[in-house]
Amino acid sequence: MLRRGETLLSALDYRDDGRTVSMTRAFTVPTFRGQGHAGELVDRAVALLEERGDRKVVPMCWYVEAWFAAHPERAGILAERPTT
């Protein structure tokens, strides 16, 4: 969660199975949208996971997918997608 004092600005929901972290929802409180809060939160989460080095990311949320599209240099942490 990203807060300013006691005020919630943005949250990132995820599921961690020990091998992958599925980022399921990035949410910013409507009055704070458009200020880069969700992007900051995703960036921090990805940086922590990169530092740990023991998990891959599965972007389940459209915002997280768009964030990775805008930051291709961070794609090394993405989990392989199954081919059909």
Question: Which of 11, 12, 22 is closest to 78 using CA atoms?
Answer: 22
The mean pLDDT value for 24-39 works out to 97
pLDDT exceeding 70 applies to what percent of the chain? 96
Which listed CATH number (2.40.50.180, 1.10.260.40, 3.30.450.20, 3.40.630.30) goes with 2-77? 3.40.630.30
Q: What is the pLDDT of residue 83?
A: 65
Q: Where are the domains of the chain?
A: 2-77
Write out the two tokens for 6. 């006691």
Q: What is the pLDDT of residues 55-82, one digit of tens each?
A: 999 999 999 999 999 999 999 999 987 6
